[in-house]
Structure 1
């Protein structure tokens, strides 16, 4: 999601053509394109949870990810998925939404960066994509497994962030943010963002400086948390 690509806000809008191929990710997130000003502030807010799955030998089997979207984006994302007009998206359409959204996130690396035992981890295609719509919020579930068999986990650092700061990722409160599923007695430490991105807040004023490469990433750095897992 570069600064020169289509953007899709949670409430929709007129399309604004931009040349970068990454616009497919914006399309995947909202199914419509809306113009974005040359400033660094998010248009979609996500509360993230993760479950780190280990096998009996403490090898990493995958990350089970849960993303809950803000109410405005959620309402927009499920627009026209309710054929019965009862406020509940059709199950088959919701399932297709999940598959399409997750598949299109591949070019961003699913916004997830993980370092296993100090080395950057590559992921295989996502598994188990599904979605729920409850209490006015869309939640997306999917699993990322290592692209190659992983070594026994000594340390794992996971961050979830959009370097262009179009999507603001926060972590669920307290122990809800991350847990380990497996036999090992591992320590989980969650570092919450130094700042909290609030819905509708313009975090950075308009400035020519923000069009420089990396400006959005710098703006979003204070809003990025991380999960650290350490196993004996």
Structure 2
């Protein structure tokens, strides 16, 4: 199962997402609670690949195998979770909570991401969930699908930023080289196209 493929630079997998960014009472970034719902075509391919007993259902063991496969696949891509504070990036720890389900012919992924190093809420923070290779499109249908929870965020302003792809391309024309199209992740330009939450405290 390939969730990220540097050979192609436009989406082949689509998911609707929601993320809850949670702070502790003492002002630390606690976790990001992610929910992804994948498109019917990709979900069907997962069912075909992992339905070992061919009963057109995914039992507990099959769902666990999918969850482990996805978690391992995303490890090289920071679990599609990107956190910065005052311009400095934070590494993301391997999620301990990572579950999948299959409902209404769609694959659902639930996982909790945490910064590898404790991070204090403050300054200018950016939180994004996206595939740096642009192979998977992570879509937040509504601004309310990126939310903050916890008292420390009450002293902060936050806004959802949705870049205009045409504007991004126009502003970065010189960087859209053959290297970008062969390996978008290597250029770190995927973040320019990504919907993100900006928090300022």
Q: Does the pair score TM above 0.5?
A: yes
- SS of 2:179 mapped into structure 1: coil
Once the two structures are TM-superposed, the CA of residue 104 in structure 1 deviates from its matched residue by: 2.3
Instruction: Using the TM superposition, name which of 218-227 and 121-130 deviates more.
Output: 218-227
Runs of 4+ with deviation above 6 angstroms: none
Output the TM-score relative to the length of structure 1.
0.68
Q: 2:88 aligns with which of 119, 123, 129?
A: 119
Distance of 2:177 and 2:125 partners within structure 1? 33
Please report the RMSD computed on the Cα atoms of aligned residues, expressed in angstroms.
3.0
Q: Quick one: higher RCO (CA 8 Å, sep 6+), 1 or 2?
A: 2
Contact 1:179–1:188 (8 Å) recurs in 2: no
Q: In the alignment, which residue of structure 1 is the partner of 2:36?
A: 67
In the alignment, structure 1 segments of 5+ residues that lack a partner are 1-7, 9-25, 31-35, 196-209
Contact 1:69–1:139 (8 Å) recurs in 2: yes
Sort the Cα spacing of 1:183 and 1:44 in 2 relative to 1 into closer, same or farther, 3 A: same
Sort the Cα spacing of 1:152 and 1:161 in 2 relative to 1 into closer, same or farther, 3 A: closer
In the alignment, structure 2 segments of 5+ residues that lack a partner are 166-175
Q: 2:164 aligns with which of 174, 180, 194?
A: 194
Output the TM-score relative to the length of structure 2.
0.77
Sort the Cα spacing of 1:161 and 1:152 in 2 relative to 1 into closer, same or farther, 3 A: closer
Sort the Cα spacing of 1:73 and 1:193 in 2 relative to 1 into closer, same or farther, 3 A: farther
Structure (1/2) with the larger helix percentage: 2
Matched, 1:226 2:196: yes
Count of aligned residue pairs for this structure pair: 186
- SS of 2:117 mapped into structure 1: coil
Distance of 1:89 and 1:211 partners within structure 2? 42
